[in-house]
A and B are shown apart, each in its own frame.
Chain A
Amino acid sequence: MTTDANAISSSSASNPSGGRRADSIFRRFNVGDALLGLICRTSAVVIALMLASLVLVLLSSAMPAIREFGLGFLVSREWRVNELERPLRDAAGQIVMQDGEVVTETIKPAFGALPVIYGTAVSSALALLFAVPLSLGAALFLVRVAPTLRIAGPLSFLIEFLAAIPSLAYGIWGLFVLAPFLQTTVGPAFQNTLQNVPGLRWMFFETVTISGKLVERPIPMTGRDMLCGSLVLAIMILPIVTSVSRDVLKAVPRTQIEGTLALGATWWQSCIAMLRYGRAGLFGAVMLGLARAAGETMAITMVIGNNNQINPSPFAPAQTMASLLANEFAEASEGLHRSSLLYVALVLLAMSLVFNIVARRLVIGTTSPAGH
């Protein structure tokens, strides 16, 4: 079965011998082929140039921050845009005085990307966790059940329309409907049931520094937190993952399903067979969803709470790389701040590149020489 999938997905690539060589003698002189090849290759080059220009612009603008922080940027947790000026204290904690005046020290701004790397990774992962099972279930329903009920058309249309709702609209809905609901209903419900469960205290309490002392206090339920951000992301990627998955599953040959059913498989087992058959394409669908989740800017900024912190609680506000840019870029005039923000953008780019490569290797394994 896997070989079949590869044969389809790698089309003409997998027969490098014999007939193809003979064909190519004719094709060499075909103007249409040459033109198509030219057009397609040019477009391919354009895409490569797009990334190249992106990397170049980001690199050159991020250079001051790269020089200043190096790779330490990736693991530093501090993000403070403004300079601090405070009284210098000696080893004993006493304020240093000189000639009757308080000596002050200046603390430079600090920029570290760890909180936003964490925020992007966790919010995207949670979004996939919520969205992928729903999408696959819905896609199976659309392909296996809906046609028999004659509702496949309208249903597909509805779901594609969900994809057409602009992110701004999701943001507004998230901010005014979902967040208050989480704040007043879901959050407190979790709080009441789980608060006293041993080992879950971290979900509802945080430690803050108030006038130099560490104080533990309950995390205020705002509704605009990691949970809300992930949920909105999940809703936003549902349609794209569902509709692409549906197309993938639709293309699974009928014989595959009928074959498994004939062998006595239940409905669900034949579904599993379909999912397995289309897994390369489904992976593509999930990657599209992930890309959208990681890069989503406007909606997530409205609902995630925008706090550059690493707090494992789903009820604590967080920040993603994209929301950080949306929050700070427009007002960032100072050189190092601006270039640190672009460094963040560069990190996001690098992260998605690495993730793409690793995930492809993991999911597809070495079965496909074409790299699909």
Chain B
Amino acid sequence: MIRARTERRRIFSNAMFALCAACAGVIVALLLAVSGYLVWIGAGSINAAFFTQIPTGDLNDPGGMRHAIEGTIILLGLASVVGIPLGVSAGVYLSEYQHEWLFAGPLRFIADVLTGVPSIVVGILGYELVVVPVAKMTSNSVSFSGYAGAAALAFIMIPIVARTTEEMLRLVPKSYREGSLALGASKAQTVLRVVLPTAFGSISTGVVLALARVAGETAPLLFTALGSRLLTRNPSEPFPSLTLQIYTYATGPYPEQKKLAWAGILVLLAMLFLVNIAIRLVATRHASTRLGKA
């Protein structure tokens, strides 16, 4: 009787084991399906011109997306410079200062709510809070700008980075902190030398997720960065981005431009792939050097 029950449990357990493996398999299959499709539709249109030229306006020979690739890199760079430090330190606050419950508790809700704001709303906010005031203060003929776009992207990044950082810091065992404090380290030393480095790998995962999320955004840039067909590195002007250019081409009527849009998606994907690998390498090396020290 007992043996039968154990046997049943074992079979059930094995079945669940197989199911878990199947889950992982399904997710990987979906990845291959989506990215395989994107390669299939995009690869044919990637050539040297894609990386070296800017849009010509010509329907049969639409040029390339150099401006947009550079634009996206600069926009993401700007957004990261603001968004990552702010997000990480807010995450530290949520995790390490949570005894300040009067503020930390509500703040967690606030961060959660902010992660769910539709990106188009962030664009509207950027328009009202950055673009319109700039128009009133200056007499620039156009007040849409790369800065406004980067601000909108940072707005989306900050709560994501904050919440993932918090979750990862919470997973650092309490004993680490106690050990550090017991050895006479200050709280700042404990956080910077022990807690953050321990969670560095998983925080960088969170940062990649946040970066990836904003890298693919079109809606918040539409009313802030506006986009541009020109090669510009000055973020105080309307600023190009891959997603905006892709969106314009993908929704437009002309087949040659559409092909360029599909190629653009593939390039964006490849860029994120590289960032992903780079951060992962840094994180692994970081983890191994720490292990070496310990």
Q: Once the chains bind, are A267 and B116 in contact (CB under 8 Å)? A: no
Q: Once the chains bind, are B109 and A356 in contact (CB under 8 Å)? A: yes
Contact of A32 among B92, B129, B174, B189 (CB under 8 A): B189
**Interface positions of B from 203 to 240, Cβ below 8 Å from A:** 205-206, 208-209, 211-213, 215-219, 222
Docked Cα-Cα span, A52 to B130, in Å, equals: 15
Q: List the count of A-B residue pairs having beta carbons below 8 Å apart.
A: 336
User: Is A371 engaged at the interface, CB distance under 8 Å to the other chain?
Assistant: yes
Q: Once the chains bind, are A266 and B9 in contact (CB under 8 Å)? A: yes
Q: Provide the residues of chain B in CB contact with A244, threshold 8 Å.
A: 164, 167, 206
Q: Once the chains bind, are B186 and A370 in contact (CB under 8 Å)? A: no
Q: Once the chains bind, are A47 and B114 in contact (CB under 8 Å)? A: yes
**Interface positions of B from 72 to 125, Cβ below 8 Å from A:** 85-87, 89-90, 92-99, 101, 103-121, 124-125
Docked Cα-Cα span, A46 to B82, in Å, equals: 11
Q: Once the chains bind, are A162 and B125 in contact (CB under 8 Å)? A: no
Q: Provide the residues of chain B in CB contact with A356, threshold 8 Å.
A: 109, 112-113
Docked Cα-Cα span, A170 to B31, in Å, equals: 10
Q: Once the chains bind, are B212 and A54 in contact (CB under 8 Å)? A: no
Q: Once the chains bind, are B216 and A30 in contact (CB under 8 Å)? A: no
Q: Provide the residues of chain A in CB contact with B187, threshold 8 Å.
A: 27, 30, 33, 36
Chain A at the B interface: SS class: helix
User: Is A11 engaged at the interface, CB distance under 8 Å to the other chain?
Assistant: yes
Q: Provide the residues of chain B in CB contact with A164, threshold 8 Å.
A: 208-209, 211-212, 215, 269, 272-273, 275-276
- Chain A 157-183 interface mask (CB, 8 Å, partner B; 1/0): 111111111111110110011000000
User: Is A352 engaged at the interface, CB distance under 8 Å to the other chain?
Assistant: yes
**Interface positions of A from 2 to 49, Cβ below 8 Å from B:** 7-13, 16, 23, 26-27, 30, 32-33, 35-37, 39-44, 46-48
Q: Quick one: closest B residue to A346, CB to CB?
A: B121
Q: Once the chains bind, are A239 and B112 in contact (CB under 8 Å)? A: no
Number of residues on chain A facing chain B (CB within 8 A): 112
Docked Cα-Cα span, A246 to B69, in Å, equals: 33
User: Is B4 engaged at the interface, CB distance under 8 Å to the other chain?
Assistant: no
Docked Cα-Cα span, A369 to B85, in Å, equals: 28
Contact of B99 among A12, A54, A296 (CB under 8 A): A12
User: Is B17 engaged at the interface, CB distance under 8 Å to the other chain?
Assistant: yes
17 contacts between A and B (CB under 8 A): A11-B95, A16-B99, A35-B188, A39-B89, A41-B93, A47-B90, A163-B212, A166-B217, A168-B243, A169-B34, A169-B216, A253-B173, A267-B13, A326-B219, A352-B112, A352-B117, A371-B105
